[in-house]
Amino acid sequence: MVRFQRQPPGTALTRTSSLIGISCAAVAGILVIDEQPVRAGVLSALSGGLLLLGGHRANHGLGGPVDRMLTELFDRAWDACILAPIVWVAFGTRPEIALGALVALCASFLSSYVRARGAALGYSVEESHVTRGVRYGAVSAGLLFGWLPVMVWVAAGVSALAALVRTGQVAREARA
């Protein structure tokens, strides 16, 4: 006989907002490739808001451990869905945009790796919705208003700063 565990309260809304959010990011990526930046920016902003909502709910007891894992996974997927197409489209014509988006993508993945590695070692590494929100907002605003040359570098700086801060937290806890 198969027994199902009862899900924590609020899990359905948490997962639904996250799943709709990542779906919007995938469509936004397609729109970036189709060179429709304003529409991509709208869906990117909607996606970021839904992912932040799902992540906030998951990290504050309105979801289970699966939801917390999905939050991190969907954040990486957002980067891949939005930033990778920006790199692809801008590579030949706007190398400064392509490089900024690539740096943002790599720094974001590095930051996530440092957090996951620190957590695996038993360290408490802070997870900030603020850095995610700034990254989502910067890239979305860049798409919406044509500010990509600046905003991808803002996202890159935020991601690099997050990686440095998390690395410092892990190093501090390792010494303790």
Torsion over CA of 99, 45, 160 and 172, rounded to 10 degrees? -160
Q: Residues 72-94: what's their mean pLDDT?
A: 96
**DSSP 8-state symbol, 147:** -
Task: Name the pLDDT band for 76 (thresholds 50, 70, 90).
Answer: very high
Structural domains of the chain, with CATH: 11-175 (1.20.120.1760)
Please identify which residue in the block is written with the tokens 């605003």: 141
The model's pTM is 0.90
d(CA 21, CA 85): 17
Radius of gyration from C-alpha coordinates of the chain: 17
Note the pLDDT tens digit of each residue in 8-45.
666 888 889 999 999 999 999 999 999 999 999 999 99
pLDDT for 6 equals: 62
pLDDT grade, residue 78 (50/70/90)?
very high
Model pLDDT for residues 93-148, shown as the tens digit of each residue: 999 999 999 999 999 999 999 988 888 888 887 777 899 999 999 999 999 999 99
Q: Which amino acid is at 167?
A: T
The answer, yes or no, to whether residue 1 has pLDDT greater than 90, is no
**What is the pLDDT at residue 162?**
92
